Amino acid sequence: MAGATTTLRPAVGAMRKPVIGEGSLIRWVLIVTSLGFLALFLFLPLAAVFTEALRKGVGEYLSSFNDPAAIAAIKLTLLVTAVSLPLNLVFGLAAAWAIAKFEFRGKHLLITLIDLPFAVSPVISGLIYVLLYGAHGWLGPWLIEHDIQIIFAAPGIILATIFVTFPFVAREVIPLMQEQGTEEEQAAMTLGAGGWQTFFRVTLPNVKWAVLYGVILCNARAMGEFGAVSVVSGHIRGKTNTMPLHVEILYNEYNFVAAFAVASLLALLALITLGLKSLVEWRSRVSLALTEYVEPTLLEQDKS
Amino acid sequence: MSIEVRNVTKHFGGFRALDHVNLNVPTGKLVALLGPSGSGKTTLLRIIAGLERADDTSADGEYGSILFHDEDVASLPVRQRRVGFVFQHYALFRHMTVFDNVAFGLRVRPRKHRPIRRQIAERVQELLRLVQLDGLAQRYPSQLSGGQRQRVALARALAVQPKVLLLDEPFGALDAKVRKELRTWLRRLHDEIHLTSVFVTHDQDEALEVADEIVVMNQGHIEQVGTPDNVFHHPATEFVMRFLGDVNAFHGRVNEGTVQFGSLELPFPENRRQIAGDARVFVRPYDVTIDTKTNGLPALESTVERVHSAGPLVRVELLTCAGQRLVSEVSQERFATMGLEPGSRVYVRPRHIRVFAG
């Protein structure tokens, strides 16, 4: 069942209602508890962001975005995302393809490495880049000699973002590809298709919803990443501040309206991501129902 | 287009899947590769297709090769071999309709060899008619039954006008009834299109019923090649004898024109394999006759242990005086006249025996 391959998506089987004989009291306690929890930790803060942002009226709210520093932060965030997303899409697909369709030495190591950014604190990943590319880092002298600036500039922020977000696409696609096996690709080859034709006509369409899902998550994280970016950015106002960093600076300057205004953009992004995510989940379930193989013997009775 | 396999060996790690296999498939024939799992039959089929590569044994001064109509294709990649391959689990493109599945092979051709849209549509419709699925062109694979899916897979393979058709356990994933229908249908289809075809199966009934010729495989080598009649009635080895049906096996001795086993001594004049001394004697259950009274002929005195009468033949399990178990199959009529039941004393005589050196 493809739905069960990632822990984030509800399994297809889970839609069947099991008989568990719990009384309605327990059911209500569970529902109220989880709703209360969500209200306290999710809805309330979200509402607070928008309330604070609009506290002094819509005019003040909108004027926050007229600030050149805010515009620069938004632009930088978009740039970082625009660069890191395609790179991670290509990397994720390549890694997933290699892991799911081929047997090679070191495969398990590769799978483990893909999970590394989830395991390491983002601050540490940022520090590693400073250690590598910073003025006193391993490659620092060489970079200075060639007048290339990575740390405290956009390239460093992009590198850190790529590192933090690269598991997303691969993690979504690998289980699905592994489950689908290689028979369809073999069939395509016997029918005369070349490698790229096989990839674009058979492999990719079979995983397109998982890819899209991974891209959405990757995008959300790329725009919202704070820790790793904070270390490599240097917080140069109007130059190396991304949106999350800009929010922090404004907040520290007691400029609450502007801080929450920019934060509200990020919150909005989160809401859009959630919406898209549900849409993709729904679409992929529909297409799954259409394309999933049912055991043939179950269908024999209704031969037409 | 004939297929010739010359001296092909294949290892998977330390496991030897194929051991110097030679095989000739004549043009236009439908040939079955028959054997138990692990016998190398699927590996051989995949090597013919180009989905698997034979071991490079040239260092040992041997050259394994695959020839299609005397042309060596061993170095050609799978997509240039023009083989139609049908997979056990169909391997239909699940995100494409039946029409798109069948059209795939035509659409991926290089532009200058690609038929125009209308020609593709015509060819697909023609093939869907051939496999009796016209009207289902817009369905997705998940909306078809197993038998229908397998026929789509066949139409898809035929769309590229392959030189040979290779089928890997084509009916393996279907239930018994559909299986039978489909194999009769496949035989008729083959008589219509006369494409050189090889199919893999572990089901001896399937091979005996469908194939022109059967290749019996065991542990990476070929035991026997012959017509269904030939391999069934004249098994070349003990393995073929056992694999093609139930047997009663005895230890025996061959001695100047006779063979002894149990308390029996039977004439054995046609000793073509020059067997002498210890031997294994095999009797098919339907070649074991049962009499309630002795008629003077040499026979094994036995006791009936169990009777299964549900079926076209009655299956009688027997225990001889010497403690050997054997099985006999007799007609319902004969069974009715004898009135056998567990505990009955009977005289058992093999009508026809096969002897192998042992």
Can you give the pLDDT at residue A295?
45
User: Cβ B146–A197 below 8 Å, yes or no?
Assistant: no
More reliable by pLDDT, B267 or B151: B151
Token output for A117: 């950014």
**pLDDT tier at A291, thresholds 50, 70, 90:** low
User: Cβ B82–A192 below 8 Å, yes or no?
Assistant: yes
Mean pLDDT for B263-289 is: 84
State the residue for tokens 């997979």: B87
Q: What distance in Å separates the CA atoms of residue B130 and residue B100, rounded to the nearest whole number?
A: 17
Q: What distance in Å separates the CA atoms of residue B290 and residue B271, rounded to the nearest whole number?
A: 27
Lowest mean pLDDT among A288-292, A293-297, B209-213, B217-221: A293-297
Can you give the pLDDT at residue B122?
94
For residues B29-58, b (16+ Cβ closer than 10 Å) or e, as one string? bbbbbbbeeebbbbbbbbbbbbbbebbeee
State the residue for tokens 């990649």: B77
Do the beta carbons of residue A62 and residue A142 sit within 8 Å? Answer: no
Mean pLDDT for B294-313 is: 88
Q: What distance in Å separates the CA atoms of residue B202 and residue B179, rounded to the nearest whole number?
A: 13
Could you give the strand order of the β-sheet that contains B30-34, starting from the edge strand earlier in sequence? B83-86, B164-168, B197-201, B30-34, B213-218, B221-226
For residues B4-14, b (16+ Cβ closer than 10 Å) or e, as one string? bbbebbbeeee
**pLDDT tier at A16, thresholds 50, 70, 90:** low
| pTM of the complete model | 0.80
Q: Residue A139 pLDDT > 60, yes or no? A: yes
Mean pLDDT for A104-114 is: 89
Q: What contacts B333, CB < 8 A, 6 or more positions away?
A: none
Token output for A229: 């970016």
Do the beta carbons of residue B224 and residue B207 sit within 8 Å? Answer: no
CB atoms near residue A34 (< 10 Å): 10
Q: Residue A298 pLDDT > 50, yes or no? A: no
Q: Please give the mean pLDDT across all residues of chain B.
A: 90
Q: Chain A closest CA to B104's CA: distance in Å?
A: 7
User: Cβ B89–A183 below 8 Å, yes or no?
Assistant: yes
DSSP class of residue A200 equals I
Lowest mean pLDDT among A248-252, B124-128, B295-299: B295-299
Q: What distance in Å separates the CA atoms of residue A211 and residue A204, rounded to the nearest whole number?
A: 9
Do the beta carbons of residue B7 and residue B64 sit within 8 Å? Answer: yes
User: Cβ B94–A187 below 8 Å, yes or no?
Assistant: no
Q: What distance in Å separates the CA atoms of residue B355 and residue B270, rounded to the nearest whole number?
A: 10
CB nearest B95 (choices: A205, A302, A303): A205
pLDDT digits (tens, 9 = 90+) for A144-195: 888 888 888 888 899 999 999 989 999 999 999 998 888 999 999 999 999 8
Do the beta carbons of residue A262 and residue A158 sit within 8 Å? Answer: no
- DSSP 3-state assignment of B326? strand
Can you give the pLDDT at residue A299?
43
**pLDDT tier at A2, thresholds 50, 70, 90:** very low
Mean pLDDT for A21-25 is: 73
**pLDDT tier at A276, thresholds 50, 70, 90:** confident
Mean pLDDT for A127-132 is: 88
Can you give the pLDDT at residue B265?
85
DSSP class of residue B3 equals E
Q: What distance in Å separates the CA atoms of residue B10 and residue B45, rounded to the nearest whole number?
A: 12
Can you give the pLDDT at residue A5?
40
Q: Residue A6 pLDDT > 60, yes or no? A: no
- DSSP 3-state assignment of A209? helix
Of all residues in chain A, the percent with pLDDT exceeding 70 is 87
Q: Please give the mean pLDDT across all residues of chain A.
A: 84
CA separation, residue B84 to residues A119, A130, A139, A192, B51 (Å): 48, 57, 56, 10, 12
Lowest mean pLDDT among A49-63, B16-30, B59-73, B224-238: B59-73
Distance of CA A22 to the CA centre of its chain: 37
Query: 3-state DSSP: chain B helix, strand, coil percent, rounded to 5?
Result: 30, 35, 35
Measured in degrees and rounded to the nearest 5, phi and psi for residue B357 equal -60, 140
DSSP string, B247-297: -EEEEEEEETTEEEETTEEEE----TT---EEEEEEE-GGGEEEESS--SS
**pLDDT tier at A292, thresholds 50, 70, 90:** low
pLDDT digits (tens, 9 = 90+) for B87-102: 999 999 999 999 999 9
Mean pLDDT for B256-272 is: 80
Can you give the pLDDT at residue B175?
84
Q: Residue A300 pLDDT > 70, yes or no? A: no
Mean pLDDT for A138-147 is: 84
Chain A residues at the B interface, defined by Cβ less than 8 Å, are: 183-184, 186-194, 197, 201-202, 205-206, 287, 289-294, 296-297, 299-300, 302-304
Q: What distance in Å separates the CA atoms of residue A285 and residue A292, rounded to the nearest whole number?
A: 10
Q: Residue A14 pLDDT > 70, yes or no? A: no
Q: Residue A197 pLDDT > 90, yes or no? A: yes
CB nearest B94 (choices: A186, A193, A293): A293
Chain A residue closest in CA terms to B78: A190
Can you give the pLDDT at residue A1?
37
Residue A9's identity, in one-letter code, is: R
Do the beta carbons of residue A211 and residue A89 sit within 8 Å? Answer: yes
Rg for chain A, CA atoms, rounded:
24
Do the beta carbons of residue B341 and residue B307 sit within 8 Å? Answer: yes
CB nearest A291 (choices: B142, B144, B156): B142
DSSP string, B156-175: HHHHT--SEEEEESTTTTS-
CB nearest B146 (choices: A191, A197, A300): A300
CB nearest B174 (choices: A186, A205, A296): A296
User: Cβ B147–A292 below 8 Å, yes or no?
Assistant: no
Can you give the pLDDT at residue A296?
44
Can you give the pLDDT at residue A12?
47
Chain A residue numbers with beta carbons less than 8 Å from the beta carbon of B77 are 189
Can you give the pLDDT at residue A32?
94
